Structure 1
Amino acid sequence: MEQLQAFWSGLPDLSGIVIHFGVTLAILVIGWAVSNLLGRWMRHIADRSARIDPTIVPMIRSVTVWAVRIVVLLAVLARLGVQTASLVAMLGASALAIGLALQGTLQNFAAGIMLLVLRPVRAGEFVSIGSQGSGTVDEIGLFMTRFVQVDGIQILLPNTLVWGSPITNYSRNKTRRLDIMLGVRYDDDLEAALATLRSLIDRHDDILADPAPQVMVMEYRDSTIMVNVRAWALAEKYWDVYFDLQRRAPQALRQAGLRTPIPLREVQSIPVSSQKDKTVNA
């Protein structure tokens, strides 16, 4: 009996072990849930606030969530008896080795930081990225930027390609200028055509009065005088105004009695006898 009592007394306290592991598991679960809740809370606050640029929300959310998760994992390892100081040193050395092996990925990360700091593109803007394509910016992530083309196709570009390419931003300014070329026949009334087009753009509700719209003769072609209609509109209404003028301008010219310009060629007929006389004289 004495030996049996000594054996039982030498065993570890099972209840204490269970409680210890239960607390550790609770820290892990609660910390992971808190990180997810914090990420959703940040996105919710950004969606409701007009002062927060939606471009920076995905990256800040990811950094915040994973920062909380790393702290939680370190706390769990510390409760399990792991020496976190040596673990952090080992992770630092591993991170250095991984960073050297993944230089391209780190370049994408650095380019993403530059995109967020300087903000040449923002979420919701329509841009063209050099020869890579064009579309509306949907999200700038840690390593890639997501665009949605006008046909609904999604494009993912590494941040280095976005940062290292010429960026044409069509949405940054509030207004855009549109140019429409129209043809007038040489034998039609040019002044009537100019007056008709000026009246059309002056009566258009979505064309801005400042800068003032212009109707100008641009060039002379073989059978057509090219007239340029130049007007300004809000950036979000640019394509509506453009397509509307493309439809209404030719109709207005026809209603004013002007004909649609077509290519004309002058053909001269020389009698056969004249050709023979020229040949004999030669």
Structure 2
Amino acid sequence: MENQPVNLILAARAAFSQAAALVVQYSFSILGAVILLIGGWILSGALSRWAYQGLSRIHGIDETLARFFESVLHYGILIFVFVAVLAQFGIQTASIVAALGAAGLAIGLALQGTLQNIAAGIMLLVLRPPRVGEYIETTNVEGRILEIGLFATEMTTADGLYLMAPNSTLWNTPIKNHSREVSRRQRLSVAVGNDVDIDIATQAILELVRSDERVRRDPPTRVYSDDLTADKTVLMIEYWAKTREWSETRHSVIERLRRGLSAKGIMLK
């Protein structure tokens, strides 16, 4: 009984010593964790900004793509820092990394369609088969590009309607770009009676088509017979015009042919 107070004092001193050791140990761990968090945050911000500025200087890299890689690098570094902070407290990070990998796989399977659109969006932004402002046509959609995002592409149709198409629908199908080339070929057909002299009709058509200044001289305009029936001959007309003037030139040439051939006595069938 006499030694009981002494034992209590010794036990209290031992507990205090252990508590002090734990405080010192975890104080250094907390301090290291805080330093890692601050340093990781600063490093992730600096590296992601550096990557964005570097990608922005590369010709052909879209703003959306540069921002995407900036975010991936930023959050990737933060995840690495988070795992390092847990290791500061003696937590086994191997199981955490495995759990993160499993979670990433599960999310990837759940968002398979979305990730497919992201992958297609990256390829569209890198290879740029269509660019903003160009008019494209696919088996599924047709319209002028407003914006190419990571998930979908915004377009406006020829009727003035807004259209949003998932990127995978554009990437997995052939794209016909109506705006990329400087000039385009136009094909028209004119049907005349078999009583009409084909050489005279051909020469008249060539003069009328070439009278439009928007029709290019090179390649030259062509007129040739494409079909022959008992009562008519179909003449095909091929000419080239600037892409931005293609539609207006077509309308003008058709009107010139209608008026000019009628004035020359060449009746259309």
Match of 1:271 in 2: none
- Aligned-pair distance for 1:75? 7.0
Q: 2:70 aligns with which of 43, 64, 68?
A: 64
Number of matched pairs: 244
Match of 2:172 in 1: 164
Matched letter for residue 60 of structure 2: D
- Using structure 2 for the length normalisation, give the TM-score: 0.66
Task: State how far apart, in whole Å, the 2-side matches of 1:114 and 1:94 are.
Answer: 26
Give the conservation status (yes or no) of the 8 Å contact 1:59–1:140. Answer: no
Give the conservation status (yes or no) of the 8 Å contact 2:130–2:177. Answer: no
Give the conservation status (yes or no) of the 8 Å contact 1:121–1:137. Answer: no
Match of 1:179 in 2: 187
SS in 2 for 1:250: helix
Change (3 A) 1:100 1:40: closer
Match of 1:143 in 2: 151
Task: State how far apart, in whole Å, the 2-side matches of 1:244 and 1:44 are.
Answer: 43
- Using structure 1 for the length normalisation, give the TM-score: 0.64
Change (3 A) 1:248 1:143: same
Query: Which runs of structure 2 are paired with 1:104-253 in the superposition (5 Å)?
Result: 104-117=113-126, 119=127, 121-124=129-132, 125-130=134-139, 132-150=140-158, 151-159=160-168, 161-253=169-261
Counterpart check, 1:103 vs 2:120: no
- Aligned-pair distance for 1:184? 1.7
Deviations 1:23-43 (A, max 9, x none): xxx99xx99x99xx9999899
Match of 2:3 in 1: none
- Aligned-pair distance for 1:194? 1.8
Give the conservation status (yes or no) of the 8 Å contact 1:126–1:135. Answer: yes
Matched letter for residue 100 of structure 1: L
Query: Which runs of structure 2 are paired with 1:68-79 in the superposition (5 Å)?
Result: 68=74
Deviates more, 1:97-106 or 1:70-79: 70-79
The share of aligned pairs that are identical, in percent, is 28
Match of 1:6 in 2: none
User: RMSD of the TM alignment (CA)?
Assistant: 4.3
Structure 1 unaligned runs (5+)? Answer: 1-25, 47-51, 263-282
Counterpart check, 1:53 vs 2:60: yes
Structure 2 unaligned runs (5+)? Answer: 1-37
Task: State how far apart, in whole Å, the 2-side matches of 1:96 and 1:79 are.
Answer: 24
